[in-house]
A = this chain, B = another copy of it.
Amino acid sequence: MSNERHEDPYLIISSDCHAGLPTEEYRPYLDPRFHRDFDDFLAGREARREAMTRLGVRNEAFADKWFHDNEEGLRGGWDPAQRIKELDGDGVAAEVVFPDADAVDSRTAAPFGVGLGLSGDQDPELGMAGAKAHNRWLAEFVSANPARHCGVALLPVTADVREVVAEIHRAKESGLGALMIPSMWVDKAPYHDRRYDPVWAAAAETGMPVVTHSGAAPREEYGDHLGIYVSEVTWWPARPLWFLLWSGAFERHPGLRFGVAESGCWWLPNLLWFMDRLYLGAHGGKKLSPFAELKRPPSEYLDRQVFVCATNTKRRELAQRYEIGVDNILWGSDFPHPEGTWPDTRAWLRRTFHDIPVGETRRMLGLAAAEVFGFDVRALDPIARRIGPTPADLGQPADQAAVEASWARSREVGRHWLTDHEFPVLGVNP
């Protein structure tokens, strides 16, 4: 990678983007045995849209304006050429492609709701059929520009384990690069269960990171109170992290990589602090039995095997990056969702990263994601040089000494519970 001089443009990889066909167009990718079920699914769309509107997830006035203002760009949700144009416009050289291009009206929902709503209690047969349909289309879609897209295969992991493992290998061979599992197992076995060991082994063997993505939540508990949903929707995709960790899955499968997408990363410092202290014998845990399935503190597994696709990172989160781990934070644009940074990514990056050291910015904006998802940075280099914003574009000063110094105390303290400090130091030194 030749991105070494200060003024070089950034190689930006969005670790959280979305693509999906207008739902009815999935038909040719779906096993014909399920076409009748697909008709039933299509017939239920209006009812689902009404339910979303009632909960307030869908705002009619916003939706009208959004589709009117962005008609052309939104076609990039499924049209490869349009997509490249949008990525270029945002300065994004490559991307990780999750399902559900349309997060406003669900017009591009994968069959049987296996997209971001993928859930453990799905009918296993329909779930696998819908996932395969999306995965087949996605493999075609990414093949137009394989260096720039890492397609995320949908994996209904609570289905029959042999089928799940077979789909991992099929997805890998078809050109996909990661696996999305449901955030919630619901009535199926939780992810500490050894029944999933062949799945984690296959993910490790194929080098495909396993990811949860926010979306599913126990909505039946929320009534029509949207704030409840939004307040905890990021907790459910994070939850598998401590199920995998404490059950020793990261110890048994050192090649397994696990990530949490579009759920922010503000929650990670507290979680690490809490889990490390528990493992290292905090007072509050003395009455409990030891944790035999781990061989090292939770934060070591985190740094080795866990990442967060933190999407549109907030300043508050960046201030905590020495606790989270700079290399564990993978920025994303969330294209083409309205809660993301598209089509104003360049301005967002400037507002967010102007006082962050350039070296760390390079990691969070692209290089860390390249390692996790296996992007070929050499192949991406000419694209980044053509479209990528430079540090100057982000308002980052050429003289980085003062910038580095302003964060020195925060970096030095880092994870304070491991560096013999009593609390973190946040904020730029005066």
Is A193 on the interface with B (CB-CB < 8 A)?
yes
Find chain B residues with CB under 8 A from A59 CB: 287-289
Is A192 on the interface with B (CB-CB < 8 A)?
yes
Find chain B residues with CB under 8 A from A266 CB: 270, 273-274
Is A84 on the interface with B (CB-CB < 8 A)?
no
- Which of A23-31, A125-133, A201-209, A311-319 has 4 or more CB atoms under 8 Å from chain B? A311-319
Whether A225 lies near B192 (C-beta < 8 A) is yes
Instruction: Pick the contact of A293: B193, B225, B270, B338 (CB < 8 A).
Output: B225
State how many angstroms separate the Cβ of A50 from the closest Cβ of chain B. Answer: 13
Task: Evaluate whether A271 and B423 lie within 8 angstroms (CB atoms) in the complex, with A56-B289, A192-B222, A339-B286 already known.
Answer: no
Is A369 on the interface with B (CB-CB < 8 A)?
no
Instruction: Pick the contact of A278: B192, B193, B230, B235 (CB < 8 A).
Output: B230
Instruction: Pick the contact of A232: B225, B242, B288 (CB < 8 A).
Output: B242
> What 0/1 pattern do residues 200 to 227 of A give for CB contact below 8 A with B?
0000000000000000000001110111
Whether A339 lies near B424 (C-beta < 8 A) is no
Find chain B residues with CB under 8 A from A104 CB: 287
Find chain B residues with CB under 8 A from A290 CB: 56
Find chain B residues with CB under 8 A from A293 CB: 225
Is A427 on the interface with B (CB-CB < 8 A)?
yes
Is A291 on the interface with B (CB-CB < 8 A)?
yes
Is A228 on the interface with B (CB-CB < 8 A)?
yes
State how many angstroms separate the Cβ of A65 from the closest Cβ of chain B. Answer: 10
- Which of A3-11, A85-93, A144-152, A243-251 has 4 or more CB atoms under 8 Å from chain B? A243-251
State how many angstroms separate the Cβ of A315 from the closest Cβ of chain B. Answer: 4
Whether A226 lies near B287 (C-beta < 8 A) is no
Instruction: Pick the contact of A422: B221, B315, B430 (CB < 8 A).
Output: B315
Each complex incorporates copies of this chain amounting to: 2
State how many angstroms separate the Cβ of A329 from the closest Cβ of chain B. Answer: 15
State how many angstroms separate the Cβ of A147 from the closest Cβ of chain B. Answer: 30
Find chain B residues with CB under 8 A from A57 CB: 288-289
> What 0/1 pattern do residues 273 to 305 of A give for CB contact below 8 A with B?
111001100011111111101100000000000
CA distance A341 to B57 in the complex (A): 45
State how many angstroms separate the Cβ of A54 from the closest Cβ of chain B. Answer: 10
Instruction: Pick the contact of A291: B227, B271, B284 (CB < 8 A).
Output: B227
Whether A243 lies near B228 (C-beta < 8 A) is yes
Find chain B residues with CB under 8 A from A242 CB: 227-228, 231-232
Shortest Cβ distance from A425 into B: residue: B427
Beyond A283-B312, A319-B422, A425-B426, 11 additional contacts (C-beta under 8 Å) are A57-B288, A193-B223, A225-B247, A226-B291, A227-B242, A227-B245, A227-B291, A231-B242, A231-B275, A267-B270, A318-B423
| 25 A–B contacts, CB within 8 A, in A order | A56-B290, A59-B288, A62-B287, A62-B288, A66-B287, A192-B225, A192-B228, A193-B223, A225-B293, A227-B246, A228-B243, A228-B247, A231-B242, A231-B246, A231-B275, A232-B239, A284-B312, A285-B339, A286-B339, A315-B423, A316-B416, A319-B422, A319-B423, A319-B424, A425-B426
